[in-house]
Amino acid sequence: MRRVRIPATPSRRRESHARRRWLAGVLALSLWIHAMALAPARSTLAAWTDTEFGSAALAAGTVDPPTDLACMAGQLTPPAFTWDPPAFTWDLPAGGVARSGFTWFLSDGFSGGGTLGSNDTSIVVPGVLLAVDTGTFTLYANGPGGWTSTPVTGSLGMLTDELYFCSVP
């Protein structure tokens, strides 16, 4: 006679599986509690008890661009740009830091440029940097720490080998 195996009902399988998961969780929790009890925290020699205090004042400022940019150009005279020096604005009690100078350059068809002193108010663009073309003159005020102002621009160029022109927007 053959024995017929009666399969377990699905609910018995679920109960068995749930029981195994519960036992595994209890075992894991027990191991974790024992591990924490066996490994107490160690003390160290590092301790900082010295306190330091400091204070500082911080203020923002701007590097103002040159104002009233104007230009003059005529026959046999390279374009000359003039501007009023900018004033720095700072909220520092000591009065702030003085402007370090100006940087100018040519672009859009021309190349060249240079730096000027902090009190310079004009520059004559050398005619050798220009050709029969139109370009842009750009001027920045330089401030402390490498900061620069927003650019001030003008157009310049040559109509012929002897006739220069310029304009400021």
Domain ranges of the chain: 61-167
pTM of the model: 0.55
Q: What burial class does residue 65 get, using C-beta atoms within 10 Å of its C-beta: 0-12 exposed, 13-18 middle, 19+ buried?
A: middle
Residues 53-85 pLDDT 10s: 788 887 666 777 888 787 877 665 666 554 433
- pLDDT tens digits along 103-130: 999 899 888 889 988 888 888 887 777 7
Q: Which distant-in-sequence residues (6+ apart) come within 8 Å of 157 by Cβ?
A: 109, 110, 130, 132, 133, 134, 135, 164, 165, 166
- CATH topology for the 61-167 domain: Immunoglobulin-like (2.60.40)
